[in-house]
Structure 1
């Protein structure tokens, strides 16, 4: 049974409060998710402020255009710093996603740490090698571009 991580960082040229308000609002998830995923929030009350214990349910098409129900719980929040969502029902055996924000000169450094286990033992491990990891990378690539469209592209030299 494999355990995997995807870690992505992005520098965003915006105020910390603006970035936090955007990424911590469930209704904004669709704006940063590829349309091909068929992402729809199915739980109510998603235009309210995020809180620990919040359950959010979605309908997504992660692979082969098959609709899947995905339910996550917001398990930890430190405003303007991080929040964690964990899968309760969905396509993975285990999913833990930490969204971190750090104020830096000229904007915000956003770090995502996704820890996951595919289902189905060795078959899931093979699927991760062939499909899942690439799909996750593509989703984060899309999200990077979507956030650049919303907040602007990082232009500072590093």
Structure 2
């Protein structure tokens, strides 16, 4: 069983409180997801984030195929981190840690995703040219969008 790790950091020129308010609001995920993915929250984003929260989405990651994705917020420490885990969706495993910390002149946002692709060896074969580039594309879009929203860190 091959488990992959995706890691990304971004610095933004905003306060910790403003960064946490944006990052921890599930409704903002649509804002930082590419439009072509047709990301829509079906349920679970009507309250502030809490451990045990179930959020259901519809997303179209590849080839126009709509996929239901259900995540659970398993851990939350205000103004520091939260963890979401896939309960149902496109991955065999999805464990996404979101960290935020104050730095000089802003905040550092860090994402660490441990994931496993489905379909065994076939999934591992398509990972380098389908799954990994798609994750990189999504997070490049996210980085660009966050810079548009909050400015460039200097």
Contact (CA 8 Å) 1:84, 1:96: kept in 2 or not? yes
Alignment partner, residue 51 of structure 1: 50
Q: State how far apart, in whole Å, the 2-side matches of 1:65 and 1:5 are.
A: 26
Q: State how far apart, in whole Å, the 1-side matches of 2:106 and 2:46 are.
A: 25
Runs (4 or more) in structure 1 with deviation over 6 Å come to none
Alignment partner, residue 144 of structure 2: 145
- 1:12 corresponds to 2:1: no
Shift of 1:15: 0.3
Shift of 1:65: 1.1
Alignment partner, residue 23 of structure 2: 23
Structure 2 counterpart SS, 1:92 = coil
Q: State how far apart, in whole Å, the 2-side matches of 1:43 and 1:126 are.
A: 34
Structure 1 counterpart SS, 2:18 = helix
Contact (CA 8 Å) 1:14, 1:151: kept in 2 or not? yes
Structure 2 counterpart SS, 1:31 = coil
Shift of 1:47: 3.5
1:9-60: per-residue Cα shift (whole Å, max 9, x none)? 000100000010001001110000000111000115x142100000000000
Alignment partner, residue 32 of structure 1: 32
User: Is there any run of 5+ residues in structure 1 with no aligned partner, and where?
Assistant: none
Structure 2 counterpart SS, 1:42 = strand
Query: Number of aligned pairs?
Result: 154
TM-score where L is the length of structure 1: 0.95
Q: State how far apart, in whole Å, the 2-side matches of 1:126 and 1:67 are.
A: 23
Q: State how far apart, in whole Å, the 2-side matches of 1:38 and 1:123 are.
A: 26
Shift of 1:126: 1.1
Q: State how far apart, in whole Å, the 2-side matches of 1:59 and 1:86 are.
A: 16
Structure 2 counterpart SS, 1:58 = strand
